[in-house]
Amino acid sequence: MYATERYLSLMERFSGDSAPGSPVEATLDGIAAALFCTPRNAKLILRRLQEEQLIEWLPGRGRGHRSRIVFRHPKEPYLMELLQAEAEAGNYPAAFELIGQYAGGTAARERFLQWLDGRFGYLKEQQQGQPPRDTLRFPLLYGVRTLDPSHLNYALDAHVMRQLYDRLLQYSEENERIIPAAAHHWSVNGDGTVWTFFLRKGVLFHDGAELNSRDVAFTFERLRHGFNRWLMRSVRSVETVGSHVVRFYLEKPNFIFDRFVCAGAAALLPEGLRGLPEEEFWKRPIGTGPFRLLKHTSCGLELGAHEPYYGGRPYLDAVDMVVLPESCQPASVAPSVPGLLRIRDGFYHEPETAPPSEEWSSIHNVNHGCAMLGWNMNKPGPHQSEAFRRAVRMILDPSELLGELKDKSILPAYGFLPETSAMRSPEPPRPDRLRAALREAEYDGTPIRLIAQSKYKDEAGWITRKLADWGIRVELELEGITCESGFRQADLTIWCIVIAEDEVCEIEAYEHGNCILGNFLTDDTQTWIRGRIDAALATADAAGRRQILRQVEEQLRDDGSIIFLHHQQLSTYLHPSVQGVRLNRLGWVDLKNVWLETCLAAPELAAAELRP
């Protein structure tokens, strides 16, 4: 990159509109200024560029004869070669940096993004002298925020952690029951206060060490100090009984503690983080999951198959997640020939209207959760009046929002879950009741500060216009991908909750240390909710627990603390040769089970796999 960047810098400065290969005037002082170096170093750089056949330097001889430089390679094709080489090497940060610095005045950006779009999907790739490799590569609009389970709060992070780490048990969405994972068996005493888990033998971390009971105890004790300390609610102590048995003693009954240990934040870690400082360990964490981390940068992650995974080696050899800068999102360019599996979803990408060709099929699923509005009850303002909150809820009818969002949303939300919303009908407009609520609130025109992520700009615009129709002023602030630093200053904000594991995820929404919902509620409301959760956990009957948690949800909806907006459709498209694809409740494809019928997708590579 030393020579190439200097070559491009000189082209930016001197080539102008001159024809490729034609000499252009340039002084040694001007070259030194363009390269931010001394004239002496500029001479050395010019010599290096000539040796690499990039330029021809024609020094001026005598008075009145100016020096000239010949650029041997046209800018756009040369830049394209560099961009493709960097991307093929997995060095996406360098590629995007080159685009930002040197693509101006050329079509290199658009051409590169079209080429890159053709590398997304399930691809059968082969490098010279290497066996064919199954790679799934897909774009992200933003990167993973954390790989530390104790800080887990977002669906993408949870999805990646499922690939890297295991949990004691896991919840089977397909069968709607808990199944063994790192623990092959578990038991509970009669009053739900003592839980015992029996570990499998031969569960290996990515560094080859075997998982034992001390690793499990360390994992859970560590959770007491992070945002996910709710998982340790009422846990008095964790006891190791030999090398492969762990026992949890609880101060209060919890008949779904087995569901707690299925949570993504309960991902199993090595005891003491292998003696590394926290900051060092999280640069390249290890777990016992089906994939291991190969690379993690601001521009993405690369995962490789964990060969000795106890649950069976993944068919995929590699997973490459590429974070595209906002200026380099593939929706802005014409799509190229796609890979065999296209990952698209309503949260992170604009949904495609149809599969790439007729032979492709599509999988659609409704988000198991919803987007919602929430009032910051810890800030003063008009929303402290329950009558005002009820009025706003009547104004913002979720069924009207569907027309605004068009194909983004398929179901108006009247509760956390789509099945709850499907059982409710839109309330008919009642202008008289709405005007009465505003009079009761004595609203004086004070503006409402709405802070939202930019991906919710359509929802926020609709909310602003609807409230303005009733004389309620909204000061709208759109922030970047995350607004964690700003939402506490908001009167009102929009966010999405994903209910990946039903009851447990609802409890997490109320008790997570960094979740918007819990942070927006007053101390008195949180105390009441904790009491209701204690009652739900002490109830052995699933229907009884559901009824208690539904009471909490309905109370928050009825007093206007939250306003449900919509459930979104999640989509993915796949070639008929791709098997094992299913969208999970996090809105992502379960990567371990994806495989390819090579004979249908790439017969020539299928034959190559059989060659000695």
Whether residue 198 is found in the same domain as residue 53? no
Exposed/middle/buried for residue 312 (C-beta within 10 Å: 0-12, 13-18, 19+): exposed
β-pair type (448-453, 492-498): parallel
Higher pLDDT, 479 or 344: 479
| Of the residues 226, 250, 281, the one at which a domain ends | 281
Whether residue 414 is found in the same domain as residue 276? no
Nearest of 124, 129, 134 to residue 318 by alpha carbon: 134
CATH number at residue 508: 3.10.105.10
The pLDDT of 478-495, averaged and rounded, is 77
Q: pLDDT tens-digit profile of 207-239?
A: 999 999 999 999 999 999 989 999 999 999 999
Whether residue 195 is found in the same domain as residue 275? yes
Residue 249: both structure tokens together: 């003693």
Whether residue 383 is found in the same domain as residue 424? yes
Q: Residues 504, 495: contact at Cβ < 8 Å?
A: no
Whether residue 551 is found in the same domain as residue 414? yes
Whether residue 389 is found in the same domain as residue 498? yes
CATH number at residue 129: 3.40.190
What's the confidence (pLDDT) of residue 29? 86
Q: By percentage, how much of the chain surpasses pLDDT 90? A: 45
Whether residue 128 is found in the same domain as residue 168? no
Residue 11: both structure tokens together: 């082209």
| Structural domains counted in the chain | 4
What's the confidence (pLDDT) of residue 538? 95
Can you tell me the distance from the alpha carbon of 137 to that of 125, in angstroms, rounded to the nearest whole number? 11
CA 356 from chain center: how many Å?
24
The pLDDT of 399-407, averaged and rounded, is 78
Whether residue 15 is found in the same domain as residue 72? yes
Q: Residues 138, 121: contact at Cβ < 8 Å?
A: yes
What SS3 class is residue 562? strand
| Of the residues 281, 302, 323, the one at which a domain ends | 281
CATH number at residue 203: 3.90.76.10
Can you tell me the distance from the alpha carbon of 50 to that of 454, in angstroms, rounded to the nearest whole number? 48
Which of 74-83, 226-235, 252-261 bottoms out in mean pLDDT, i.e. has the lowest?
74-83
Can you tell me the distance from the alpha carbon of 260 to that of 577, in angstroms, rounded to the nearest whole number? 37
Residue 600: both structure tokens together: 């249908």
Can you tell me the distance from the alpha carbon of 256 to that of 503, in angstroms, rounded to the nearest whole number? 9
Q: pLDDT tens-digit profile of 114-137?
A: 888 777 777 777 777 777 788 888
What's the confidence (pLDDT) of residue 283? 93
CATH number at residue 77: 1.10.10.10
Can you tell me the distance from the alpha carbon of 282 to that of 374, in angstroms, rounded to the nearest whole number? 33
Task: Tell me the pTM.
Answer: 0.81
Whether residue 585 is found in the same domain as residue 525? no
* DSSP category for residue 447: P
Residue 486: domain span: 369-568
Task: State the alpha helices, DSSP H only, in 492-597.
Answer: 503-511, 516-520, 523-537, 542-558
Whether residue 217 is found in the same domain as residue 265? yes
- Stated length of the chain: 612
Whether residue 373 is found in the same domain as residue 491? yes
Which of 220-229, 372-381, 485-494 bottoms out in mean pLDDT, i.e. has the lowest?
485-494
The pLDDT of 394-399, averaged and rounded, is 92
Instruction: Provide the residue type at 225 as one letter.
Output: H
Whether residue 54 is found in the same domain as residue 130? no
